[in-house]
A and B are shown apart, each in its own frame.
Chain A
Amino acid sequence: MDKNRFFFEHYGLTERDLERYLAAALSAGGEYSDLYFEYLSSTSLMVDESMVKSASQGISAGCGVRVIAGERTGYAYTDDLSSERILHAARTAALIASGPAKTPSVGFQEKPARSLYPVTLPSVDAEITAKVELVMRADHAARAYDPRIKEVRASYADELRNILVVGSDGTFAEDSQPLARLNVSCIAKTDGNSARGSAGGGGRVALDFFFGEKTPEYFAKEASRQAVLQLDAREAPAGEMEVVLGPGWPGVLLHEAVGHGLEADFNRKQTSAFAGLIGKRVASEKCTVVDNGTMPWRRGSLNVDDEGNSTQDTVLIEKGILKGYLSDKLSAKLMGMANTGNGRRESYEHIPMPRMTNTYMLAGQDDPQDILRSVKRGVYAVNFGGGQVDITSGKFVFSASDAYLIEDGQVTAPIKGATLIGNGPDVLTRVSMVGNDLRLDEGIGTCGKDGQAVPVGVGIPTIKIDRLTVGGTAKKETGGFMQ
């Protein structure tokens, strides 16, 4: 072990210390213990009314100790990285077990290094003036887009998370995980009418990403376009109808409808509507869905997960057939299945669990224009606010923020935001067309589960769902969409 060792250097940690902590964690007889060291530095900036009103920086560091005994997990953490406090946390977590002390394996095996986000200068260490320039440019571009744009807020946030995970099974993994994001939200106003729009993006990227690939102007224009368009939005229809999803962020459908339901912890406990469906048809044969944590620069990607395992490209649904679940160490062991490297946690204060990374549907054969032309009356949704799922009943929602009516194969009027609701285990069986235009989202997704937030990605090509309930307000006589 001769690489740069962040925690060894900054906190004087040694391998001997780590072994001592792991032994303390197993002092009451647990089967497995691990330590998660985290050092997180972050910056954020916000411009409102063309003024930089807020700027902040901060540091948060700590260590979480986990002990597993059978299906039981003991957990304790400390924000003080002294030997005394880590040992105290280890002995506290140890008490989940009751038996003679176990000895951790001797020596650590380090994972082969991967480099999915090789930034030379992490954005968190970059000049603050460059970040100020980004938010000010976003503000100017949004205001320049249209005189009706009256309020603009642009924010920039970045972080660098240094982690070290060691386990009593010899696991040893370190990673340095950058994350940056730029957001623009604006309000368009006319006499007696107003509407909002928002856009943003980023990833595990360096600051130059926002000066080259995805500029503040790019996000500002998109936010402004949505806001101005929404000024003239009509009431959305209500009831079941054909729905076409545009490419990219509408992949949040997959995240809610199937992704959460395929997390192994829910299936181990048989609390998911997908429990016991492996090998069964859960989607039309045009649908292949994967969770891929190995995509360079992506917001949902990780070199190693928060249990020290390499992330993977995991097939969840192949040509409509359910193939597998997303697992972490505990569920893989208890279910006797492979570990897919999806053990994630929000911070050192949290117990890891199976989580998604970048979840998307592979491209199909259909021309997106043909998909739209095939719809007589329906809704074309190209952007969404977010979603939620009840994994037990399988019911999920996602909220369209940029959507249009389709009439006789033509995209016509913009409609107001509406919630779409469906049933996870069968919504994809009604996918009749899949476009050739797979796109990943811009890098703004944050997923919440059991109170823990982690960054994720989603993606989808243009798809047509033959029947989905749209939660609009239009009455039958005006909308003509009720069945």
Chain B
Amino acid sequence: MSSIQLETRNQKLETDLKDLAQDIVRQAMAGGATAAECVVREGDEFSTLVRLGQVETLKESGSRAIGVRVFNGQRAASTYSSDFSRESLDRMVKSALELAKITSEDPFGGIPEASQLGSLTGDLDLYSADVYSLPGEERINYARRAEKAALDYDPRIKNSEGGSFEAATGHKVLANSHGFVGEYQRSYCSIAAVPIAQSENGAMQRDYWFSVARNLGRLESPEHVGKVAAERTIRRLGARKVKTAHVPVVLDPLVAVSMLDHIFEGVNGDSVYRGASFLAGKLGEKIAADRVNVIDDGTMAGGFGTSPFDGEGIPTRRTVVIENGVLKSYLLNTYTAKKLGLQTTANASRGLAGTPGIGPGNYFLQPGTKTPQQIISEIKEGLYVTEFLGHGANLVTGDYSRGASGLWISGGELAYPVEEITVAGNLKEIFMNIAEIGNDLEFRGAMACPTIRIDGLTVGGQ
């Protein structure tokens, strides 16, 4: 294996991206736009996958793209390009201005007020160049070590989808016609292992574990990642079906976060103003058990959901979404806030094209005091879910039905693995029925949730 060199694109740029974004905004305004916004993104990525000790893939590259959104009075349109040649950029701006003639006048459209714009100051600890500091061989070794730890853990682990190491950096610039221009860089690295275990009858099970961080120093060791992946895989061997039952269900943090995501989708201003959410119109009402407190905080140093400003150039903030079970705030961008007669919560997310969406900051359920073991020990018969399959949540009605696998709880202990079962209920009741919240909150992404216990669900099986 030869050594690997990463050429960072930032050094190659002839035009500063902030200048470029401002130029595009000026060009759109000169072309007749009444307001304009430009976003530029640039990124590098590296990934390697080692399988059964051998390098299987090695990928390394960088890319960039630019997008512009223009307003022609109350009509909006957007265009984007990955080609930064003068000719392409001119065409991009011209097309956006043309497109903004055929869209509808929307009295709620527009970019934020000038007074709302700004950027958090101080070091948010989002970027560390050290994610690329390892030499090529060492990156491959991280992946190899994670896989090896999994393979060595138990003789029943006979195969693997591999161990991997990834690193990436991103640079984002936003400028608009109120004169706002902001930028930030973020970095990311991760280690993962996906072992496969086989039981005597030949049945196979797969599970995984991973660690992700903004710098190398905060990654879990490859050995730890491999060992946890192996433990999670081995405990699935010999899984059986169970009879249909109504029992307490405990969700491990990795799957509990999906429940929190359903609340996020439910308080997403875009669903709320359309009445497309089971939480629409519930501000100030009790929608969850007393113990439930949900926070969205885009300002946490080093967080995976942190940024100095949102997708529209508004400084991020901390929003209490649910307090003691009462819905305190939706999560909004400028458009949805106007539609609802509220203030934006600075949750605008911005792709290259289209209207801004709504994305999380660091979004989490506040932890309780019990350990996961304590929560399990209090259950006579129940289900501990370690994996959900499918997308069976209906956010309009709250109806919920998903495939699941995990471990059966018997006499307060994890007794045996189970699979090919379903978990069903309605989200309106599910959040009222959160009976326990664990103390094990840990961020592995922008959203995080501790172990939770939910009562009143139907477990479907034989």
Binding site for B on A (CB under 8 A): 28, 44, 46-62, 71-79, 88-89, 92, 95-96, 98, 128-129, 132, 150-151, 153, 187, 189, 194-196, 230, 236, 238-240, 269-271, 273, 349, 351, 385-390, 392-393, 395-399, 416-419, 421-423, 469-475, 482-483
Contacts and interface: CB of A to CB of B under 8 A. Distances in A.
Contact of A421 (B2, B80, B96, B422): B422
Interface in B422-457: 422-426
The 6 A-B pairs with the shortest beta carbon distances in the complex, nearest first, are: A471-B422, A397-B403, A51-B104, A397-B390, A392-B206, A56-B353
B81 A59 contact: yes
A271 B196 contact: yes
B239 interface: yes
Given A392-B206, A399-B390, A421-B421, A96 B51 contact: no
7 contacts: A51-B104, A54-B78, A73-B58, A79-B64, A151-B274, A421-B422, A470-B460
Nearest to B278: A194
B85 to A, nearest CB: 9
Interface in B371-385: none
Given A151-B275, A393-B206, A59 B389 contact: no
B413 interface: no
B63 interface: yes
Contact of B276 (A187, A396, A475): A187
A151 B102 contact: no
Contacts of B95: 57
- Interface of chain A: mostly helix, strand, loop or mixed: strand
A59 B80 contact: yes
Size band of the interface chain B makes with A: 35 or more
Contacts of B34: none
Interface in B1-58: 1-5, 7, 51, 54-58
Contact of B61 (A71, A77, A239): A77
Interface string B96-109: 10011011111001
B462 interface: yes
Given A72-B55, A421-B421, A473 B426 contact: yes
B424 A397 contact: no
A17 B236 CA distance: 53
A471 B161 contact: no
B461 interface: yes
Nearest to A81: B83
B59 A95 contact: no
B460 A472 contact: yes
Contacts of B405: 390, 393, 395
Given A53-B104, A59-B83, A95-B3, 19 more contacts: A54-B354, A54-B355, A57-B353, A58-B81, A58-B352, A62-B82, A72-B56, A75-B61, A77-B63, A95-B2, A187-B275, A236-B401, A349-B63, A385-B391, A386-B390, A393-B419, A397-B390, A397-B422, A418-B392
B104 A395 contact: no
B190 interface: no
Which of A50, A53, A129: most chain B Cβ within 10 A?
A53
A89 B9 CA distance: 13
Contact of A78 (B61, B80, B241): B61
A53 B76 CA distance: 7
Interface in B68-82: 76-82
A129 B102 contact: yes
Interface string B163-193: 0000000000000000000000000000000
Contacts of B82: 59-62, 79
B244 interface: yes
A52 B276 contact: no
Given A96-B55, A98-B2, A393-B206, A422 B420 contact: yes
A270 B55 CA distance: 17
A469 B421 contact: yes
Contacts of A474: 458
B7 A76 contact: no
B424 A471 contact: yes
B424 A271 contact: no
B102 A196 contact: no
Contacts of A392: 196, 204-206
Nearest to A153: B274
Given A58-B352, A60-B65, A28 B396 contact: no
B58 A473 contact: no
A53 B355 contact: yes
A469 B401 contact: no
B29 to A, nearest CB: 19
Contacts of A271: 159, 161, 196, 204, 206
Contact of A75 (B59, B274, B423): B59
A48 B354 CA distance: 13
Nearest to A194: B396
B402 interface: yes
B276 A151 contact: yes
A471 to B, nearest CB: 3
Given A419-B402, A469-B461, A58 B396 contact: no
Nearest to A58: B80
Nearest to A467: B462
Contacts of B352: 58
